[in-house]
Amino acid sequence: MKSRQLLSLILIVLVLMFACRVSGKEPSVSGSFYPAEKEALKAAVEGFLSRAERVHTSGRLLVIVSPHAGYVYSGQVAAYGYKQIQGSDIKRVILIGPSHHAAFKGASVYAKGSFSTPLGDVRIDEKAASGLVDEKSDVAFYAGAFEREHSLEVQLPFLQTVLKDFTIVPILVGSPTAKSFHRLVSAISGMLDDKTIIVVSSDLSHYHDYTQAKEMDGKIVSAIERLSAADADALLNSGKAELCGSYPVFIAIEAARRLGATKGVLFNYANSGDVTGDKSRVVGYASMGLFREPFTEAERRELLSLARDAISDYVVHGKVTEKEIKNPKFLADGAVFVTIKEDSSLRGCIGHVRAVMPLYQSIIKNAVAASSSDPRFPPMKKEELKDAELEISILSPLAPVNNISDIKVGKHGLVIRKGYQSGLLLPQVASEYGWDRETFLRQLCKKAGLPDDSWKDADLYSFTAEIIK
């Protein structure tokens, strides 16, 4: 009897060991992209980190963009991003990279077990990873996508060196769809707590000469610094820049913007020509960060001054004076509404729902439009300037409303779209009029020229706004 129990116990242990082995991801590029021997790998990573510098900038680091070539080529550049989080208390890393070898629709999430490197195993946050999977949204698990892939794996030894006791959520993007893009943005932005960070794996231009590569890479770096996925996409479509992890980068930018990201920062840039000396055909690498840094009181006053000066210049002189702006937060793309009031009554309100230009330009453009082009009011006159009250609303990206109970009156603004009609109400409007959720929705429908109950079968989107007045 005892021998049978012992045999059963051994079988159970073997099954559990096999199950753990099956669910674990073994290294694919150990010995080629980075050293296969533990001590050699540890020495290489620590050496890269010792030569990297911390970049002195304020704000919360939400995203690291890191290259994924062999360490001999891009390891030093990658080290700059990881230097910024060395010794931090980050407990979860959302890893997003492109699929180089497998073709599939949407995105693939590895949701069970662990990833291994010569430095040990890294556990997957199984609850978070499984929560991402939604086959209807083209987010599933495709085992073949991870078999030979290096874009996520090469990030792990750096993470294992700079962090302690962390988990990962591994995501590979294949041929993205609108559904998979929105699914990942929404779910990832919901995961970004104070102890979670996104790491995006991407190289830049491929196989151009040194001078052309630096020019192309400078353009895409600038777009990422400005948090402008639209400009980056336009550069890629025109062939003026290259980014092999383009959709992972776009997903990260959009998720970070939902969390209030205000700027991107370049930590380090180089290309393979800087390492090998062969500058005829190079690959570009950048280490970057996306930060959330709230506006200071001085910056808020400066933004209001930009709006007021723009209105005054236009009303008095019929032109808009160009401004030289250096603050990176003002240069980042921003969606803005500018509201003008007189004696607490509305005098004009115009804005952009989406971030289509740098924040400062959006403020200037919409301030002028609110003073002169709001069809509900005549253009402002000089004598009105002294009594004008200004309010700037900086909008977060739109998020689909799946359940109206999620709408928080006073916090969320709303957009409604049905057929060719649409309308928008800023979050402060509901508070000013003392509306409840139902009244807010009815008034939104009226704004769009729709029947009061049209919200029940229309497309609804919510957003938040930073209000400066």
Average confidence (pLDDT) over 274-286? 97
Considering the domain architecture, whether residues 349 and 310 belong to the same structural domain is answered as yes
- Please indicate, yes or no, whether residues 65 and 102 belong to a single structural domain of this protein: yes
Q: Do 133 and 236 fall within a single domain?
A: yes
Confidence class for position 46, pLDDT limits 50, 70, 90: very high
- For the residues 78-107, what does the mean pLDDT come to? 97
Last-in-domain residue among 395, 414, 441:
395
Give the pLDDT confidence score for residue 14 in this predicted structure.
Answer: 42
Q: Is residue 452 included in any domain, yes or no?
A: yes
- Indicate whether 446 and 347 sit together in one domain: no
pLDDT above 50 for 428 = yes
Is pLDDT above 60 for 16? no
Q: Which of 394, 387, 386 is nearest to 363 (CA)?
A: 394
267: confidence class by pLDDT, cuts 50, 70, 90: very high
pLDDT score at 5 = 55
Query: CATH code at 417?
Result: 3.30.1490.150
Burial class (CB in 10 A: 0-12, 13-18, 19+), 357: buried
Residues 257 and 125 in one domain: yes
Q: What CATH number does the domain containing 322 carry?
A: 3.30.700.20
DSSP 396: P
Q: What is the pLDDT of residue 4?
A: 58
pLDDT digits (tens, 9 = 90+) for 184-200: 999 999 999 999 999 99
Neighbours of 387 (CB within 10 A): 10
5 lies in some domain = no
Q: Is 7 inside a domain boundary?
A: no
Task: For residues 244 and 150, state if they share a domain.
Answer: yes
What pLDDT is recorded for position 17?
Answer: 41
Lowest mean pLDDT among 262-271, 298-307, 319-328: 319-328
Note whether 212 and 285 are same-domain residues: yes
Residue that finishes a domain, picked among 253, 273, 292: 292
Q: How confident is the model at residue 13 (pLDDT cuts 50, 70, 90)?
A: very low
Of 246, 288, 285, the C-alpha closest to 264 is 288
The closest of 292, 331, 335 to 461, measured between CA atoms, is 335
- Crossing angle (nearest 10°) for helices 229-238 and 246-258: 160
- Looking at the fold, whether 74 and 101 belong to one and the same domain comes out as yes
Separation CA 64–CA 249 (nearest Å): 10
Domain match, 341 and 460 both? no
DSSP 259: T
Share of the chain above pLDDT 70, in %: 95
Give the domain CATH number at 87.
Answer: 3.40.830.10
Closest CA to 224 of 157, 297, 307, 284: 284
Of 268, 292, 316, the residue at which a domain comes to its end is 292
Full domain range(s) for residue 377: 295-395
Q: Specify the pLDDT at position 3.
A: 55
- How far is C-alpha 125 from the geometric centre of its chain's CA atoms? 20
Q: Is residue 3 part of a domain?
A: no
* CA atoms 128, 153, 274, 56: torsion sign: positive
pLDDT at 1 exceeding the cut of 90: no
The answer to whether residues 208 and 318 belong to one domain is no
pLDDT value for 56 = 85
Average pLDDT over residues 287-295: 96
Rounded mean pLDDT, 33-45: 98
| Residue 282, in any domain of the structure | yes
Tell me what the mean pLDDT of segment 210-215 comes to. Answer: 98
The total of structural domains in the chain comes to 3
Does 67 fall in a domain? yes
Q: Tell me how far apart the alpha carbons of residues 435 and 409 are, in angstroms, rounded to a whole number.
A: 8
- The 10s digit of each residue's pLDDT in 22-36 is 468 999 999 999 999
Task: Name 2's Cβ contacts closer than 8 Å, sequence gap at least 6.
Answer: none
Q: 358 falls in which pLDDT band (50, 70, 90)? A: very high
Is 79 within the bounds of a domain?
yes
- Say what the pLDDT of residue 15 is: 40
**Nearest in space to 249 (alpha carbons), one of 271, 229, 235, 268:** 229
Q: In the predicted model, what is the mean pLDDT of residues 54-79?
A: 96
| Residues 431 and 369 reside in one and the same domain | no
When the pLDDT of each residue in the chain is averaged and rounded to a whole number, the result is: 94
The string of pLDDT tens digits covering residues 360-385 is 999 999 999 999 999 999 999 999 99
- pLDDT at residue number 95: 98
Assess whether 327 and 414 both reside in one domain: no
Q: What is the pLDDT of residue 57?
A: 86
Confidence band for 2, pLDDT divided at 50, 70 and 90: low
| Within-domain flag for 76 | yes
CA-based max dimension of the chain: 101
pLDDT band at 320 (very low <50, low <70, confident <90, very high): confident
